[in-house]
Structure 1
Amino acid sequence: MEEIQHRTVDINGIKMHIAEKGQGPVVLLLHGFPELWYSWRHQILALARHGYRAVAPDLRGYGDSDAPSSIHSYSILLSVGDIIGLIDYLGVEQVFLVGHDWGAGIAWGVALFRPERVKAMVNLSVPFSPRDPSMKPIERYRAFFGDDLYICRFQEPGEMEAEIASAGVERALKKFFTSFGPGPLIIPKGTWLGDSNTPISLPSWLSEEDVKYFASRFEQKGFTGPLNYYRMINRDWELVAPWAGAEVKVPTRFIVGSKDSVYSSPGLKEYVHGATFKKFVPLLEEVVVIDGAGHFINQERPEDISTHIYEFIKKF
């Protein structure tokens, strides 16, 4: 990836690493878990060829960006603040915003809190979720899926980190990349990562070299920062209470894989194709389901995703 430039910038009280290429309107690409800027390697090159300035940060806690130690440093408000700070640093009033997984969650937050900074948005895998005042999210997840759902298993500080350390970072990453879908990701205590002597076969879209790059960064920073996003879910639910019922008023395309574990969650298909999603995202122009694709769709179907992003944002 020698064609992609890298630098570290001071944003919102942290040092943030960004990868970028191209000249023109800015497209910000926000990665998910357990990923890095590198997840957008294909889209960075494609968007630059189309005349855009593609910028992909390592989110706080990830890669070569700072990883504050406090769980409360990973709130949705601080994460959105990071992106607004990055937009300011880049010297533009508006950007095209693209997010996947946790990056999609942050992108929804940016569009909800500061819609004037977003020209249009493409989000992958995770739809906008209106706040349910009746129950905290973690309790709802436990009620639906039990304590071994991955989100629930990530709640106890240090527990998942110890399991990953015992199995090894490369093995853990391979397991995550091959386990998100279809169906909910269930992680039984102490057994999910399996016997280290049993190899994990990689999908065609992910090479051993790719895994080694991801692992080199997670071995450097660890998993605590990334897992802390999950540990803030209930607190985020409290923090966003002032925006309960608010709509995301940014032109949006939503893309999901038919075999994504998120898409197969109970009621999710009906939600994203129904009136409620459109009610809360009134400028939603299209829901795209890519047949046969899983959760890590920007890596798995890079040409399709690059084309969908370009075909949507070129209209604005």
Structure 2
Amino acid sequence: MPIEPIDPVSDPRVEHKTAKLNGYTYHYLYATPTSGEYTQTVFLIHGWPDLSMGWRYQIPVLVEMGFRVVAPDMLGYGGTDAPKVPPNSISLYGLKRASDDIAALAKEVGAQRIILGGHDWGGFVVWRAAQWYPDVISHVFSVCTPYTAPHEKYYSTEDLVKGPVPQFAYQLHLASGEVEKSVKDGQSIRQFLKGMYGARGPNGELAFDPEKGVFVERLPIIGESKILNGNVLDYYVKEYSKHGIHSTLNWYRQRRTNWEEDQALLDKKVIKQPVLFIQATYDSVLKPEMSKSMDSFIPNLTRGEVAATHWALTQKPEDVNTILRQWLEGQGLGKTKEKSSL
């Protein structure tokens, strides 16, 4: 039976909640089995340009398996606060702060331990959160985003683009401040989101290229997206219009502060929790070869792969969910275990 994704406007399967975490208000989706009883708690962390609703195909399956699910909008997105930089530090949009806020949200919902999953930037967050909070995070899964260990030496985005990952050049464009000059109202946000989610112009024009960035001049001619449309697209436009896209792009402006905070993790490069990594075969940015070294840092690693682009969660949800379900069941998680206080 096809998955019925969460409806962003009105869906009895989820609640929209808020919590004050380390001084800032977060919006999050909250779902439990209809019985109200659950075995463990799963946190789902989205990336860019996405929202907690990016997990709309995974939440129903996880709840059906007996999990409680918590999916926050990350700092700068949707219903969550978007502190301005300056006067605030750019480190607010870094991996350490995101990890701190996840741990605070776990405490808020009364979860002593959580299973933590991420996609895109959220995938990067969950790796670091597992290192900062090993006592809170029992299991980790990442869709598309491979693990990268903390480095002693600082590598700027420019260094990476000139070297091993030229497809990261779009990050320079996103961090530059140029994109938000053109994407600044409801209509331009709508066209931007459609383009980022694979829509094209009448002659096949793309709105995004990993080695160049966003083609803002093409946004007016971009058509419909197969994976972000209808009332879901309407919801995304409404949520992105709350803060604009500038705050979401701060995640691309803090590479140095991430590196500085990573220095405390140099002796914690090994991820000791059980891990699932789901690769998207046709991801043009997070390419399959980028995950080759993961096995040396993650002793308990399970790999899966789906024939999808970067938007695997919504492009091939059945495939992602099958791999995720099998891994969770293989770990003895979900309905196979007695009810606990997690």
Q: Do both proteins adopt the same fold according to a TM-score greater than 0.5, normalized to the shorter chain? A: yes
1:28-86: CA deviation from partner (whole Å, max 9, x where unpaired): 01001001011011111111112111111101111101111123321211111010001
Q: Quick one: distance in 2 between partners of 1:36 and 1:290?
A: 21
- The match for 1:155 is 175
Rate the CA distance shift 1:131–1:140 in 2: closer, same or farther, 3 A.
Answer: farther
1:78-131: CA deviation from partner (whole Å, max 9, x where unpaired): 111010001111112111111000111110011111112112111011111123
Runs (5+) with no aligned partner, structure 2: 1-6, 200-205, 333-342
Q: How does 1:9-48 map to 2 (within 5 A)?
A: 9-23=19-33, 24=38, 25-48=40-63
Q: How does 1:138-287 map to 2 (within 5 A)?
A: 138-144=157-163, 149-156=169-176, 158-165=177-184, 168-178=188-198, 185-187=210-212, 192-203=215-226, 205-244=227-266, 246-264=269-287, 268-269=288-289, 271-272=290-291, 274=292, 276-284=293-301, 286-287=302-303
Q: What TM-score comes out, normalization by structure 2 length?
A: 0.82
**Mapped contact 1:142–1:152 kept (Cα < 8 A):** no
- The one-letter code matched in structure 2 to 1:290 is V
**Mapped contact 1:256–1:290 kept (Cα < 8 A):** yes
**Deviation (angstroms), 1:148:** 8.4
Runs (5+) with no aligned partner, structure 1: none
1:161-182: CA deviation from partner (whole Å, max 9, x where unpaired): 1132287101111111118x9x
- The match for 2:305 is 289
**Mapped contact 2:168–2:285 kept (Cα < 8 A):** no
**Mapped contact 2:184–2:244 kept (Cα < 8 A):** no
**Mapped contact 1:126–1:262 kept (Cα < 8 A):** no
Q: What TM-score comes out, normalization by structure 1 length?
A: 0.88
SS of residue paired to 1:15? strand
Q: Quick one: distance in 2 between partners of 1:69 and 1:223?
A: 12
- The one-letter code matched in structure 2 to 1:111 is A
**Mapped contact 1:138–1:234 kept (Cα < 8 A):** no
Aligned length: 302
1:92 aligns with 2:92: no
Q: Quick one: distance in 2 between partners of 1:76 and 1:255?
A: 21
- The one-letter code matched in structure 1 to 2:133 is R
- The match for 2:75 is 60
Rate the CA distance shift 1:253–1:146 in 2: closer, same or farther, 3 A.
Answer: closer
